[in-house]
Amino acid sequence: LCSAMTAAAQTPPAPAPVAVPAPADDEMLTGIHLTDATIDHVLMLLESWTGKTILRPQQLPTPTFALNINRTIPKSEAILAIETLLNLNGIAVVPSGDKFLKVIDLPRARMEAPQMIEGSTLDLPPSGQIASKLFQLQFQRVNEFLPQINMLLNGNMGGYVVFEKSNAALVTDSISNLQRIETLVNKLDQPLTAGLTAKFFTVHNAKASDLVTKINSIVTGTLQSQLGSATHFASDDRTNQIVLLSDPRQYPFFQDLIEKLDVRADPNTRTEVIYLKHAQA
């Protein structure tokens, strides 16, 4: 049912960039083959490879497991593979001190004090191991941000715990999912003015406030949505300038628009003096 032959201890090959290099004394396993393995057999392997005692309830999901690895891998990678395989079948592995591992069904994992990750999860190898991490946002509102990525979380883990006053949330999930969330937080938790710079246009022939009113009447509807809600322009009549806050890529559009509107125009009416020769005005 399972053949796992160990080779002499040696330095493992260089892992992928996302993985943490295995220790030099990490034992190597040559081939792992599981076919219709029971939960008892999988836990026996996990107990043997980790050197820790498995603590488990009487009732656990009872799927059969299949895993085929036809290459030599460090024992630490084999442990990650087993933990991920268990996670995919609704079973969580939670450390309990230095000598024990608790094996429970996923819905209860959040209540069993899983490992708390203090630093970044991006330095860890992706796996199905269950852990918790506190995410504290700087610019986004946590109550608005997390519901949008709720679909990325494992629904069996019971969601997340929000600390509204601290603008933070405690998320318990697999390390792979925690890494996805951390990546999104790093990309999206940015100041609202990111990418916006100020541009000043001096108006020569018209009044700045009149031009801003005209531009507002032009930039409406679908054009406003294309430019983005963060784009803003205002007038400074003291210096007769238009102040534009937008993405620099929009500068040519507004510069061309202002130049076309800021032209000298003759008035629609004119004044002429007519002298009377014979009558009194």
pLDDT score for 134: 92
Residue 81, Cβ density class (10 Å: 0-12 exposed, 13-18 middle, ≥19 buried): middle
193 φ, ψ to 5°? -90, 5
pLDDT score for 75: 87
Pairing between β-strand 100-105 and β-strand 53-55 as defined by DSSP bridges: parallel
Mean pLDDT score, 12-18: 41
pLDDT score for 3: 41
Over the stretch 175-215, which tens digit does the pLDDT of each residue have? 888 999 999 999 888 776 556 778 899 999 888 998 999 88
The answer to whether 117 and 62 are in contact (CB under 8 A) is no
224 vs 162 pLDDT, higher one: 162
The answer to whether 242 and 258 are in contact (CB under 8 A) is yes
Please give the full DSSP string across 7-61, using - where no structure is assigned: ----PPPP--TTSPPPPTTPPEEEEEEEEEE-HHHHHHHHHHHH--EEE--S---
Mean pLDDT score, 70-88: 87
Q: What number of other Cβ atoms are within 10 A of residue 239's Cβ? A: 12
Q: Which of 136-150, 190-204, 205-219, 244-258 has the lowest mean pLDDT?
A: 190-204
The answer to whether 161 and 173 are in contact (CB under 8 A) is no
How many CA within 13 A on the CB side of residue 108? 13
pLDDT score for 83: 87
Where do the H-state alpha helices sit in the chain? 39-50, 75-88, 142-148, 175-188, 208-218, 222-227, 251-261
pTM: 0.54
